[in-house]
Amino acid sequence: MNPLSFFYFIRSYVESYGAVLGQRFLPIIWVLALCLLIWFYGYLIGYGEFYPLASVANRLIAIGVVLVAGLAYIGISAYKARKRDKELVADLEKSSRPRPPPASRPRSAKSATA
pLDDT (tens digit, 9 = 90+) per residue, 25-54?
A: 788 888 998 999 999 999 888 888 999 999
Domain ranges of the chain: 3-83
What is the pLDDT, as a whole number, of residue 55?
93
**Mean pLDDT of the chain, nearest integer:** 82
In the chain, the largest separation of any two C-alpha atoms, in whole Å, equals 102
First and final C-alpha spacing in the chain? 88
Query: Measured between alpha carbons, how far is 92 from 58 in angstroms, rounded to an integer?
Result: 51
| More confident position, 92 or 99 | 92
Overall pTM > 0.85: no
Average pLDDT over residues 47-72: 94
Query: What is the average pLDDT across 55-68?
Result: 96
